[in-house]
Chains A and B, each alone.
Chain A
Amino acid sequence: MVDALIVASGVQEVKESLSAVSSLGDVEVLFYGKDSDKADEVAKLGVKVYVLKSQHPGALFNAVKKLYDEKQPKVIVGYGTKNNRDALSRLAGTYDLPMATDVIGVEFKDDHIIYKRGFLSERAIATEKIPYPAIILINAKVFEPVQREGSGNTEEISVEEDSVKLLEIKPKQLSGINLEDAEIIVGVGRGFKKKEDLELAFKLAELLGGQVGASRPIAADYKWLPEDAWIGISGKRVAPKLYIAVGISGAPQHMAGVNNSKIIVAINKDKSAPIFKLADYGVVADLYQFLPVLIKKLEEKKGK
Protein backbone atom coordinates (compact mmCIF):
# COMPACT_ATOMS: atom_id res chain seq x y z
CA MET A 1 0.00 0.00 0.00
CA VAL A 2 1.15 3.51 -0.78
CA ASP A 3 -0.72 6.76 -0.19
CA ALA A 4 -0.08 8.29 -3.57
CA LEU A 5 1.15 7.23 -6.98
CA ILE A 6 2.51 9.98 -9.19
CA VAL A 7 2.18 9.32 -12.93
CA ALA A 8 4.47 11.68 -14.79
CA SER A 9 6.63 12.13 -17.87
CA GLY A 10 8.80 15.02 -16.66
CA VAL A 11 10.95 15.87 -13.62
CA GLN A 12 9.23 19.21 -12.96
CA GLU A 13 5.88 17.44 -13.10
CA VAL A 14 7.04 15.03 -10.38
CA LYS A 15 8.26 17.92 -8.19
CA GLU A 16 4.96 19.77 -8.47
CA SER A 17 2.93 16.59 -7.95
CA LEU A 18 4.96 15.81 -4.82
CA SER A 19 4.08 19.25 -3.60
CA ALA A 20 0.37 18.68 -4.27
CA VAL A 21 0.39 15.46 -2.19
CA SER A 22 2.81 16.71 0.48
CA SER A 23 0.24 16.13 3.22
CA LEU A 24 0.08 12.42 2.36
CA GLY A 25 2.51 9.74 3.47
CA ASP A 26 4.19 7.22 1.25
CA VAL A 27 4.54 8.30 -2.39
CA GLU A 28 5.84 6.34 -5.38
CA VAL A 29 6.30 7.41 -8.97
CA LEU A 30 5.58 5.90 -12.35
CA PHE A 31 7.89 7.77 -14.71
CA TYR A 32 7.34 7.19 -18.40
CA GLY A 33 7.97 8.33 -21.93
CA LYS A 34 10.85 9.62 -23.93
CA ASP A 35 12.46 11.41 -20.97
CA SER A 36 12.37 8.28 -18.84
CA ASP A 37 16.20 8.26 -18.79
CA LYS A 38 15.87 11.07 -16.25
CA ALA A 39 14.47 8.59 -13.73
CA ASP A 40 17.62 8.85 -11.59
CA GLU A 41 16.98 12.55 -11.14
CA VAL A 42 13.51 11.68 -9.90
CA ALA A 43 14.83 9.01 -7.53
CA LYS A 44 17.07 11.67 -5.95
CA LEU A 45 13.90 13.30 -4.68
CA GLY A 46 13.76 10.37 -2.29
CA VAL A 47 11.04 8.36 -3.97
CA LYS A 48 10.79 4.91 -5.42
CA VAL A 49 10.53 5.19 -9.21
CA TYR A 50 9.02 2.70 -11.59
CA VAL A 51 10.29 3.41 -15.09
CA LEU A 52 8.26 2.75 -18.20
CA LYS A 53 10.31 3.42 -21.29
CA SER A 54 7.38 3.25 -23.65
CA GLN A 55 5.24 6.25 -24.55
CA HIS A 56 2.47 4.08 -25.97
CA PRO A 57 -0.77 5.16 -24.24
CA GLY A 58 -1.98 1.56 -23.99
CA ALA A 59 1.29 0.51 -22.36
CA LEU A 60 0.93 3.42 -19.96
CA PHE A 61 -2.61 2.33 -19.11
CA ASN A 62 -1.44 -1.23 -18.47
CA ALA A 63 1.47 -0.02 -16.32
CA VAL A 64 -0.76 2.27 -14.25
CA LYS A 65 -3.31 -0.47 -13.83
CA LYS A 66 -0.66 -2.95 -12.72
CA LEU A 67 0.70 -0.56 -10.10
CA TYR A 68 -2.79 0.42 -9.01
CA ASP A 69 -3.74 -3.22 -8.49
CA GLU A 70 -0.55 -3.94 -6.53
CA LYS A 71 -0.25 -0.80 -4.46
CA GLN A 72 -3.84 0.33 -4.01
CA PRO A 73 -2.88 4.03 -3.79
CA LYS A 74 -5.46 6.39 -2.30
CA VAL A 75 -4.54 9.06 -4.81
CA ILE A 76 -3.08 9.08 -8.31
CA VAL A 77 -1.64 12.42 -9.32
CA GLY A 78 0.10 14.04 -12.31
CA TYR A 79 -0.36 16.76 -14.92
CA GLY A 80 -3.34 16.69 -17.28
CA THR A 81 -1.18 15.85 -20.29
CA LYS A 82 -2.86 14.06 -23.16
CA ASN A 83 -1.18 10.76 -22.31
CA ASN A 84 -2.15 11.05 -18.64
CA ARG A 85 -5.74 11.88 -19.52
CA ASP A 86 -5.88 8.98 -21.97
CA ALA A 87 -4.49 6.32 -19.62
CA LEU A 88 -6.04 7.58 -16.39
CA SER A 89 -9.54 8.07 -17.81
CA ARG A 90 -9.36 4.39 -18.77
CA LEU A 91 -8.28 3.47 -15.25
CA ALA A 92 -11.12 5.64 -13.93
CA GLY A 93 -13.57 3.81 -16.18
CA THR A 94 -12.22 0.40 -15.16
CA TYR A 95 -12.75 0.95 -11.43
CA ASP A 96 -15.32 3.79 -11.37
CA LEU A 97 -12.81 6.12 -9.73
CA PRO A 98 -13.57 9.82 -9.49
CA MET A 99 -11.16 11.87 -11.62
CA ALA A 100 -10.61 15.61 -11.21
CA THR A 101 -8.74 17.48 -13.92
CA ASP A 102 -7.21 20.97 -14.24
CA VAL A 103 -6.94 21.10 -10.48
CA ILE A 104 -5.58 24.32 -8.98
CA GLY A 105 -5.98 23.51 -5.30
CA VAL A 106 -6.50 20.33 -3.29
CA GLU A 107 -6.99 19.30 0.32
CA PHE A 108 -6.72 15.70 1.43
CA LYS A 109 -9.05 15.21 4.38
CA ASP A 110 -9.46 12.02 6.41
CA ASP A 111 -12.25 10.52 4.37
CA HIS A 112 -12.61 12.77 1.36
CA ILE A 113 -10.81 15.14 -1.00
CA ILE A 114 -11.81 18.71 -1.74
CA TYR A 115 -10.41 20.34 -4.85
CA LYS A 116 -10.80 23.47 -6.95
CA ARG A 117 -10.76 23.57 -10.72
CA GLY A 118 -11.77 25.74 -13.65
CA PHE A 119 -15.41 25.43 -14.72
CA LEU A 120 -17.36 26.84 -17.69
CA SER A 121 -14.17 27.20 -19.72
CA GLU A 122 -12.68 28.93 -16.69
CA ARG A 123 -15.33 31.61 -16.39
CA ALA A 124 -15.89 30.10 -12.94
CA ILE A 125 -14.12 28.06 -10.27
CA ALA A 126 -15.71 24.83 -9.07
CA THR A 127 -15.10 23.43 -5.60
CA GLU A 128 -16.05 19.76 -5.40
CA LYS A 129 -15.77 16.86 -3.01
CA ILE A 130 -14.89 13.24 -3.85
CA PRO A 131 -14.07 10.12 -1.83
CA TYR A 132 -10.85 8.09 -1.95
CA PRO A 133 -9.43 6.48 -4.03
CA ALA A 134 -9.27 9.17 -6.71
CA ILE A 135 -7.33 10.57 -9.63
CA ILE A 136 -6.22 14.20 -9.39
CA LEU A 137 -4.69 15.88 -12.45
CA ILE A 138 -3.11 19.21 -11.58
CA ASN A 139 -2.35 22.23 -13.73
CA ALA A 140 1.31 22.97 -14.34
CA LYS A 141 2.96 25.75 -12.33
CA VAL A 142 0.30 25.93 -9.66
CA PHE A 143 1.99 23.89 -6.94
CA GLU A 144 5.39 25.05 -5.72
CA PRO A 145 7.88 22.34 -6.83
CA VAL A 146 9.48 20.50 -3.89
CA GLN A 147 13.19 20.96 -3.31
CA ARG A 148 14.67 18.03 -1.52
CA GLU A 149 17.31 15.37 -1.69
CA GLY A 150 17.07 11.76 -0.87
CA SER A 151 17.79 8.44 -2.42
CA GLY A 152 15.12 6.32 -3.93
CA ASN A 153 15.70 3.45 -6.27
CA THR A 154 14.49 2.90 -9.78
CA GLU A 155 12.96 -0.22 -11.20
CA GLU A 156 12.06 -0.82 -14.78
CA ILE A 157 8.52 -1.97 -15.34
CA SER A 158 7.59 -3.96 -18.39
CA VAL A 159 4.06 -4.39 -19.63
CA GLU A 160 2.37 -5.35 -22.86
CA GLU A 161 1.02 -2.67 -25.14
CA ASP A 162 -2.67 -3.00 -25.86
CA SER A 163 -4.15 -4.04 -29.20
CA VAL A 164 -3.76 -0.53 -30.66
CA LYS A 165 -0.63 -0.28 -32.76
CA LEU A 166 1.63 2.74 -32.83
CA LEU A 167 2.65 2.80 -36.50
CA GLU A 168 4.65 5.97 -36.69
CA ILE A 169 5.69 9.02 -34.72
CA LYS A 170 5.70 12.30 -36.64
CA PRO A 171 7.56 15.14 -34.96
CA LYS A 172 5.92 18.56 -34.88
CA GLN A 173 7.76 21.67 -35.98
CA LEU A 174 8.24 23.57 -32.74
CA SER A 175 9.77 27.00 -32.19
CA GLY A 176 11.32 26.10 -28.86
CA ILE A 177 10.34 29.55 -27.56
CA ASN A 178 9.31 29.54 -23.95
CA LEU A 179 6.22 31.74 -24.06
CA GLU A 180 5.74 31.13 -20.33
CA ASP A 181 8.83 33.28 -19.70
CA ALA A 182 7.97 36.10 -22.14
CA GLU A 183 7.30 39.54 -20.64
CA ILE A 184 5.41 40.77 -23.68
CA ILE A 185 3.35 38.62 -26.02
CA VAL A 186 1.56 39.60 -29.21
CA GLY A 187 -1.25 37.07 -29.70
CA VAL A 188 -2.53 36.50 -33.23
CA GLY A 189 -5.95 35.15 -34.20
CA ARG A 190 -8.16 34.48 -37.15
CA GLY A 191 -8.40 38.20 -37.88
CA PHE A 192 -5.25 37.60 -39.93
CA LYS A 193 -6.17 36.48 -43.41
CA LYS A 194 -3.01 34.67 -44.40
CA LYS A 195 0.23 33.40 -42.95
CA GLU A 196 2.42 36.07 -44.56
CA ASP A 197 0.42 38.78 -42.81
CA LEU A 198 1.69 37.57 -39.44
CA GLU A 199 4.82 39.53 -40.37
CA LEU A 200 3.00 42.56 -38.92
CA ALA A 201 2.72 40.82 -35.55
CA PHE A 202 6.36 39.72 -35.61
CA LYS A 203 7.43 43.26 -36.38
CA LEU A 204 5.38 44.58 -33.45
CA ALA A 205 6.72 41.90 -31.11
CA GLU A 206 10.28 42.60 -32.16
CA LEU A 207 9.91 46.32 -31.50
CA LEU A 208 8.54 45.58 -28.04
CA GLY A 209 11.10 42.90 -27.26
CA GLY A 210 8.33 40.34 -27.05
CA GLN A 211 7.24 37.03 -28.57
CA VAL A 212 4.38 35.98 -30.80
CA GLY A 213 1.71 33.57 -29.54
CA ALA A 214 -1.52 32.45 -31.15
CA SER A 215 -5.09 31.28 -30.76
CA ARG A 216 -5.63 27.57 -31.25
CA PRO A 217 -6.87 27.69 -34.88
CA ILE A 218 -3.83 29.68 -36.04
CA ALA A 219 -1.33 27.24 -34.50
CA ALA A 220 -3.05 23.86 -34.42
CA ASP A 221 -5.40 24.02 -37.39
CA TYR A 222 -3.89 26.37 -39.98
CA LYS A 223 -0.35 25.66 -38.76
CA TRP A 224 0.74 29.22 -39.54
CA LEU A 225 2.81 29.11 -36.36
CA PRO A 226 4.44 26.20 -34.55
CA GLU A 227 2.14 24.54 -32.04
CA ASP A 228 4.13 25.71 -29.04
CA ALA A 229 2.69 29.16 -29.81
CA TRP A 230 -0.82 27.86 -28.95
CA ILE A 231 -2.21 29.71 -25.95
CA GLY A 232 -5.28 28.72 -23.96
CA ILE A 233 -7.03 26.11 -21.91
CA SER A 234 -5.67 23.29 -24.08
CA GLY A 235 -2.40 25.05 -24.94
CA LYS A 236 -0.03 27.19 -22.91
CA ARG A 237 -0.94 29.31 -19.94
CA VAL A 238 1.09 32.50 -19.98
CA ALA A 239 1.42 35.46 -17.63
CA PRO A 240 3.26 38.29 -19.39
CA LYS A 241 3.11 41.85 -18.15
CA LEU A 242 1.60 42.82 -21.50
CA TYR A 243 -0.58 40.69 -23.78
CA ILE A 244 -1.69 42.28 -27.05
CA ALA A 245 -4.46 40.25 -28.69
CA VAL A 246 -4.75 41.03 -32.38
CA GLY A 247 -7.69 39.67 -34.38
CA ILE A 248 -8.71 37.40 -31.48
CA SER A 249 -12.38 37.25 -30.48
CA GLY A 250 -11.85 36.44 -26.80
CA ALA A 251 -13.31 32.93 -26.52
CA PRO A 252 -13.16 31.74 -22.90
CA GLN A 253 -10.92 28.83 -23.91
CA HIS A 254 -8.34 31.30 -25.24
CA MET A 255 -8.66 33.80 -22.41
CA ALA A 256 -8.10 31.01 -19.85
CA GLY A 257 -4.50 31.03 -21.04
CA VAL A 258 -3.91 34.78 -20.69
CA ASN A 259 -6.04 35.88 -17.75
CA ASN A 260 -2.98 36.14 -15.53
CA SER A 261 -1.42 38.80 -17.75
CA LYS A 262 -0.90 42.15 -16.02
CA ILE A 263 -2.30 44.25 -18.88
CA ILE A 264 -4.35 42.99 -21.84
CA VAL A 265 -4.77 45.03 -25.02
CA ALA A 266 -7.30 44.02 -27.68
CA ILE A 267 -7.17 45.08 -31.31
CA ASN A 268 -10.28 43.95 -33.16
CA LYS A 269 -12.39 45.46 -35.88
CA ASP A 270 -15.69 44.28 -34.37
CA LYS A 271 -16.65 46.59 -31.52
CA SER A 272 -18.92 43.92 -30.03
CA ALA A 273 -16.16 41.27 -29.86
CA PRO A 274 -16.20 39.70 -26.36
CA ILE A 275 -12.49 40.43 -25.91
CA PHE A 276 -13.15 44.12 -25.27
CA LYS A 277 -14.86 43.22 -22.00
CA LEU A 278 -11.88 41.07 -21.02
CA ALA A 279 -9.18 43.61 -21.85
CA ASP A 280 -7.75 46.72 -20.20
CA TYR A 281 -7.34 48.71 -23.40
CA GLY A 282 -9.21 48.18 -26.63
CA VAL A 283 -8.73 49.54 -30.11
CA VAL A 284 -11.63 49.07 -32.48
CA ALA A 285 -9.88 48.99 -35.84
CA ASP A 286 -8.88 46.87 -38.76
CA LEU A 287 -5.57 45.32 -37.81
CA TYR A 288 -4.29 45.79 -41.35
CA GLN A 289 -4.69 49.53 -40.97
CA PHE A 290 -3.86 49.91 -37.31
CA LEU A 291 -0.76 47.72 -36.87
CA PRO A 292 1.32 49.60 -39.48
CA VAL A 293 0.50 52.87 -37.74
CA LEU A 294 1.29 51.47 -34.30
CA ILE A 295 4.55 50.05 -35.62
CA LYS A 296 5.49 53.38 -37.17
CA LYS A 297 4.79 55.25 -33.93
CA LEU A 298 6.86 52.79 -31.92
CA GLU A 299 9.71 53.06 -34.42
CA GLU A 300 9.59 56.85 -34.18
CA LYS A 301 9.79 56.63 -30.41
CA LYS A 302 12.70 54.24 -30.59
CA GLY A 303 14.48 56.46 -33.08
CA LYS A 304 14.37 59.39 -30.68
Chain B
Amino acid sequence: MGDIVVLVKPSLNPDMTRSKPDGTVDLDAIPLKLDDIDANALEAAKELKNTLGGKIIALLLLPWGPIQKRTRELKMVTQEALARGADEAYIVSDEKLLPGDPIITATVLSNAIKKYAPSASLVLVAEASIDQTTGQIAGRVAAKLGLPFISYARKITIDGNKIVAERDVEDHIEVMEASLPAVVSVTQEINEPRPPTLLQIRRAGKKPQKTLSAADVEPIPERKKEPVEYKILTVSRKQVIIEGDTLEEIAEKLIEALEKEGVL
Protein backbone atom coordinates (compact mmCIF):
# COMPACT_ATOMS: atom_id res chain seq x y z
CA MET B 1 0.00 0.00 0.00
CA GLY B 2 1.52 3.27 -0.96
CA ASP B 3 1.68 6.36 -3.05
CA ILE B 4 3.17 6.70 -6.50
CA VAL B 5 5.41 9.66 -7.17
CA VAL B 6 5.71 10.69 -10.81
CA LEU B 7 8.53 13.06 -11.71
CA VAL B 8 7.18 15.57 -14.22
CA LYS B 9 9.51 17.82 -16.18
CA PRO B 10 8.47 21.15 -17.68
CA SER B 11 10.78 20.91 -20.70
CA LEU B 12 11.68 23.29 -23.48
CA ASN B 13 9.57 22.28 -26.46
CA PRO B 14 12.02 21.39 -29.27
CA ASP B 15 9.27 21.89 -31.85
CA MET B 16 9.24 25.56 -30.86
CA THR B 17 13.00 26.07 -30.95
CA ARG B 18 13.83 29.77 -31.39
CA SER B 19 17.12 31.36 -32.38
CA LYS B 20 18.77 34.68 -31.82
CA PRO B 21 20.20 36.64 -34.74
CA ASP B 22 23.67 35.27 -33.97
CA GLY B 23 22.49 31.69 -34.44
CA THR B 24 22.47 30.77 -30.76
CA VAL B 25 19.40 29.31 -29.08
CA ASP B 26 17.00 31.87 -27.62
CA LEU B 27 16.29 29.77 -24.52
CA ASP B 28 13.96 32.32 -22.92
CA ALA B 29 11.71 32.38 -25.98
CA ILE B 30 11.09 28.64 -26.16
CA PRO B 31 7.92 27.63 -24.31
CA LEU B 32 7.79 24.82 -21.78
CA LYS B 33 5.58 21.75 -22.10
CA LEU B 34 4.90 18.65 -20.07
CA ASP B 35 7.56 16.28 -21.35
CA ASP B 36 6.40 13.60 -23.80
CA ILE B 37 7.24 10.43 -21.89
CA ASP B 38 6.09 11.97 -18.59
CA ALA B 39 2.60 11.48 -20.04
CA ASN B 40 3.38 7.77 -20.31
CA ALA B 41 4.64 7.74 -16.72
CA LEU B 42 1.42 9.39 -15.49
CA GLU B 43 -0.68 6.93 -17.49
CA ALA B 44 1.29 4.03 -15.98
CA ALA B 45 0.69 5.47 -12.51
CA LYS B 46 -3.05 5.60 -13.17
CA GLU B 47 -3.03 1.94 -14.17
CA LEU B 48 -1.09 0.92 -11.04
CA LYS B 49 -2.89 3.16 -8.59
CA ASN B 50 -5.67 0.74 -7.69
CA THR B 51 -3.23 -2.09 -7.08
CA LEU B 52 -1.09 0.03 -4.78
CA GLY B 53 -4.04 1.70 -3.10
CA GLY B 54 -2.43 5.11 -2.57
CA LYS B 55 -2.50 8.40 -4.40
CA ILE B 56 -0.49 9.77 -7.31
CA ILE B 57 1.82 12.64 -6.45
CA ALA B 58 3.27 14.68 -9.31
CA LEU B 59 6.60 16.27 -8.45
CA LEU B 60 7.80 19.05 -10.71
CA LEU B 61 10.94 21.14 -10.79
CA LEU B 62 11.34 24.23 -12.93
CA PRO B 63 14.64 23.82 -14.82
CA TRP B 64 14.47 26.90 -17.07
CA GLY B 65 14.11 30.59 -16.29
CA PRO B 66 13.39 33.43 -16.32
CA ILE B 67 11.14 32.66 -13.43
CA GLN B 68 8.60 35.48 -13.91
CA LYS B 69 8.05 34.52 -17.51
CA ARG B 70 7.67 30.82 -16.69
CA THR B 71 4.97 31.15 -14.05
CA ARG B 72 2.07 30.70 -16.46
CA GLU B 73 3.72 27.83 -18.35
CA LEU B 74 4.60 26.06 -15.12
CA LYS B 75 0.99 26.38 -14.01
CA MET B 76 -0.21 24.86 -17.27
CA VAL B 77 2.17 21.91 -17.01
CA THR B 78 1.02 21.35 -13.41
CA GLN B 79 -2.64 21.48 -14.50
CA GLU B 80 -1.94 18.98 -17.24
CA ALA B 81 -0.21 16.58 -14.83
CA LEU B 82 -3.23 16.81 -12.53
CA ALA B 83 -5.63 16.34 -15.45
CA ARG B 84 -3.63 13.30 -16.53
CA GLY B 85 -4.30 11.58 -13.23
CA ALA B 86 -2.11 13.02 -10.49
CA ASP B 87 -4.06 13.59 -7.26
CA GLU B 88 -1.78 16.35 -6.01
CA ALA B 89 1.29 18.22 -7.12
CA TYR B 90 4.44 19.66 -5.57
CA ILE B 91 6.22 22.25 -7.66
CA VAL B 92 9.77 23.28 -6.88
CA SER B 93 10.53 26.66 -8.35
CA ASP B 94 13.42 28.87 -7.24
CA GLU B 95 15.90 31.21 -8.89
CA LYS B 96 18.71 29.43 -7.02
CA LEU B 97 18.02 26.21 -8.91
CA LEU B 98 18.22 27.75 -12.38
CA PRO B 99 19.22 26.64 -14.90
CA GLY B 100 18.74 22.98 -14.09
CA ASP B 101 21.84 20.92 -13.40
CA PRO B 102 21.27 17.14 -13.12
CA ILE B 103 23.17 17.04 -9.82
CA ILE B 104 20.96 19.71 -8.30
CA THR B 105 17.76 18.42 -9.91
CA ALA B 106 18.25 14.85 -8.69
CA THR B 107 19.14 15.99 -5.18
CA VAL B 108 16.22 18.38 -4.90
CA LEU B 109 13.77 15.78 -6.20
CA SER B 110 15.12 13.13 -3.82
CA ASN B 111 14.93 15.53 -0.89
CA ALA B 112 11.37 16.42 -1.84
CA ILE B 113 10.34 12.76 -2.06
CA LYS B 114 11.80 12.06 1.40
CA LYS B 115 10.08 15.06 2.92
CA TYR B 116 6.73 15.26 1.14
CA ALA B 117 6.08 11.69 -0.01
CA PRO B 118 7.70 9.53 2.66
CA SER B 119 5.23 6.71 2.12
CA ALA B 120 5.81 6.46 -1.64
CA SER B 121 6.16 2.88 -2.75
CA LEU B 122 6.99 3.66 -6.35
CA VAL B 123 8.77 6.52 -8.10
CA LEU B 124 8.14 6.66 -11.85
CA VAL B 125 10.41 8.63 -14.15
CA ALA B 126 10.50 8.99 -17.95
CA GLU B 127 13.40 7.27 -19.70
CA ALA B 128 14.56 10.65 -21.06
CA SER B 129 13.38 14.20 -21.69
CA ILE B 130 12.85 16.03 -24.97
CA ASP B 131 15.15 18.98 -24.26
CA GLN B 132 18.21 17.36 -22.68
CA THR B 133 17.59 13.65 -23.44
CA THR B 134 20.30 12.55 -21.01
CA GLY B 135 18.19 9.96 -19.20
CA GLN B 136 20.16 10.26 -15.97
CA ILE B 137 17.70 11.59 -13.40
CA ALA B 138 16.03 8.26 -12.58
CA GLY B 139 19.30 6.48 -11.78
CA ARG B 140 20.59 9.40 -9.76
CA VAL B 141 17.39 9.58 -7.72
CA ALA B 142 17.46 5.81 -7.10
CA ALA B 143 21.03 6.06 -5.83
CA LYS B 144 20.23 9.03 -3.61
CA LEU B 145 17.19 7.34 -2.10
CA GLY B 146 19.04 4.04 -1.82
CA LEU B 147 16.17 2.24 -3.56
CA PRO B 148 16.15 -0.64 -6.04
CA PHE B 149 16.19 0.64 -9.63
CA ILE B 150 14.76 -0.76 -12.84
CA SER B 151 15.39 1.26 -15.99
CA TYR B 152 13.63 1.33 -19.39
CA ALA B 153 10.49 -0.52 -18.32
CA ARG B 154 8.12 -1.37 -21.15
CA LYS B 155 5.71 -3.21 -18.94
CA ILE B 156 5.08 -3.15 -15.20
CA THR B 157 3.08 -5.47 -12.98
CA ILE B 158 2.76 -5.30 -9.23
CA ASP B 159 2.14 -8.31 -7.08
CA GLY B 160 1.96 -7.60 -3.36
CA ASN B 161 5.26 -6.10 -2.36
CA LYS B 162 6.99 -6.95 -5.62
CA ILE B 163 7.26 -5.16 -8.91
CA VAL B 164 8.06 -7.07 -12.08
CA ALA B 165 9.10 -5.08 -15.12
CA GLU B 166 10.14 -5.87 -18.66
CA ARG B 167 13.30 -3.89 -19.18
CA ASP B 168 14.23 -2.92 -22.71
CA VAL B 169 17.88 -3.39 -23.58
CA GLU B 170 18.98 -2.84 -27.19
CA ASP B 171 18.77 -6.43 -28.40
CA HIS B 172 16.73 -8.23 -25.76
CA ILE B 173 14.21 -7.80 -22.97
CA GLU B 174 15.08 -8.51 -19.34
CA VAL B 175 12.36 -9.45 -16.91
CA MET B 176 13.38 -7.86 -13.61
CA GLU B 177 11.87 -8.16 -10.17
CA ALA B 178 12.36 -5.73 -7.30
CA SER B 179 10.78 -5.27 -3.95
CA LEU B 180 8.93 -2.03 -3.25
CA PRO B 181 9.64 0.81 -2.72
CA ALA B 182 11.54 1.18 -5.98
CA VAL B 183 12.44 3.68 -8.68
CA VAL B 184 11.47 2.73 -12.23
CA SER B 185 12.07 4.55 -15.49
CA VAL B 186 9.50 3.92 -18.21
CA THR B 187 9.73 3.97 -21.99
CA GLN B 188 7.34 5.37 -24.56
CA GLU B 189 6.16 1.85 -25.39
CA ILE B 190 4.69 1.20 -21.93
CA ASN B 191 1.26 2.54 -22.90
CA GLU B 192 -0.63 4.94 -25.11
CA PRO B 193 -1.44 7.97 -22.91
CA ARG B 194 -5.04 9.07 -23.23
CA PRO B 195 -5.55 12.80 -23.62
CA PRO B 196 -7.34 14.23 -20.60
CA THR B 197 -11.08 14.76 -20.94
CA LEU B 198 -12.73 18.14 -20.37
CA LEU B 199 -14.04 16.92 -17.05
CA GLN B 200 -10.54 15.82 -15.97
CA ILE B 201 -9.18 19.20 -16.98
CA ARG B 202 -11.87 21.00 -15.00
CA ARG B 203 -11.31 18.84 -11.92
CA ALA B 204 -7.57 19.40 -12.09
CA GLY B 205 -8.02 22.98 -10.95
CA LYS B 206 -9.48 21.83 -7.65
CA LYS B 207 -6.73 19.35 -6.76
CA PRO B 208 -4.18 20.35 -4.11
CA GLN B 209 -0.88 21.79 -5.24
CA LYS B 210 1.96 23.25 -3.27
CA THR B 211 4.85 25.36 -4.49
CA LEU B 212 8.19 24.76 -2.80
CA SER B 213 11.28 26.94 -2.69
CA ALA B 214 14.90 25.86 -2.47
CA ALA B 215 14.74 26.35 1.29
CA ASP B 216 12.07 23.62 1.52
CA VAL B 217 14.25 21.01 -0.16
CA GLU B 218 17.71 21.58 1.28
CA PRO B 219 20.55 20.65 1.31
CA ILE B 220 21.36 21.74 -2.24
CA PRO B 221 24.66 20.62 -3.75
CA GLU B 222 27.06 22.73 -5.71
CA ARG B 223 26.38 23.34 -9.41
CA LYS B 224 28.89 21.63 -11.69
CA LYS B 225 27.68 22.18 -15.24
CA GLU B 226 28.30 25.54 -16.90
CA PRO B 227 26.82 26.46 -20.25
CA VAL B 228 29.32 27.73 -22.81
CA GLU B 229 27.16 28.01 -25.93
CA TYR B 230 23.90 26.67 -27.35
CA LYS B 231 23.93 26.84 -31.10
CA ILE B 232 21.06 26.11 -33.49
CA LEU B 233 21.73 23.25 -35.90
CA THR B 234 20.80 24.72 -39.22
CA VAL B 235 19.37 22.17 -41.62
CA SER B 236 19.99 23.33 -45.12
CA ARG B 237 17.67 21.07 -47.05
CA LYS B 238 16.30 22.10 -50.43
CA GLN B 239 12.64 21.87 -49.34
CA VAL B 240 11.34 21.46 -52.90
CA ILE B 241 7.75 20.28 -53.12
CA ILE B 242 7.30 18.31 -56.32
CA GLU B 243 4.08 19.26 -58.01
CA GLY B 244 2.23 18.01 -61.05
CA ASP B 245 -1.23 17.39 -62.47
CA THR B 246 -1.10 13.65 -61.91
CA LEU B 247 0.72 11.32 -59.55
CA GLU B 248 2.45 9.84 -62.63
CA GLU B 249 3.90 13.22 -63.46
CA ILE B 250 5.03 13.75 -59.87
CA ALA B 251 6.66 10.34 -59.74
CA GLU B 252 8.53 11.02 -62.97
CA LYS B 253 9.73 14.39 -61.75
CA LEU B 254 10.87 12.88 -58.47
CA ILE B 255 12.85 10.14 -60.21
CA GLU B 256 14.40 12.73 -62.49
CA ALA B 257 15.39 14.95 -59.56
CA LEU B 258 16.98 12.03 -57.72
CA GLU B 259 18.86 10.94 -60.82
CA LYS B 260 20.21 14.46 -61.17
CA GLU B 261 21.36 14.31 -57.56
CA GLY B 262 23.16 11.10 -58.41
CA VAL B 263 21.50 9.11 -55.64
CA LEU B 264 19.53 6.57 -57.66
Contact = CB atoms under 8 A, between A and B. Distances in A.
Contact of B136 (A82, A101, A265, A293): A101
A164 B135 contact: no
Given A164-B177, A172-B173, A122 B237 contact: no
Contacts of A285: 247, 250
Contacts, number: 248
Interface string B228-241: 11111101011111
Contact of B172 (A92, A170, A216, A262): A170
B149 A297 contact: no
A55 B170 CA distance: 12
Contacts of B239: 276-277, 279-280, 282
B141 interface: yes
B14 interface: yes
A184 B176 CA distance: 38
Given A126-B230, A277-B237, 18 more contacts: A81-B170, A89-B143, A92-B103, A92-B143, A99-B134, A118-B133, A125-B233, A169-B172, A171-B171, A220-B187, A228-B171, A252-B14, A253-B133, A263-B263, A265-B258, A282-B241, A290-B251, A293-B248
Interface of A: 55, 57-58, 80-83, 85-94, 96-102, 114, 118-131, 162-172, 174, 184, 208, 216-217, 220-221, 227-228, 233-234, 241-242, 252-253, 259, 262-265, 271, 274, 276-285, 289-290, 293-294, 296-298, 301
B237 A283 contact: no
A94 B149 CA distance: 13
State which size class the interface on B falls in.
35 or more
A93 B144 contact: yes
Contacts of A118: 133
A66 B54 CA distance: 37
Given A127-B228, A297-B251, A164 B178 contact: yes
B258 A263 contact: yes
Nearest to B19: A124
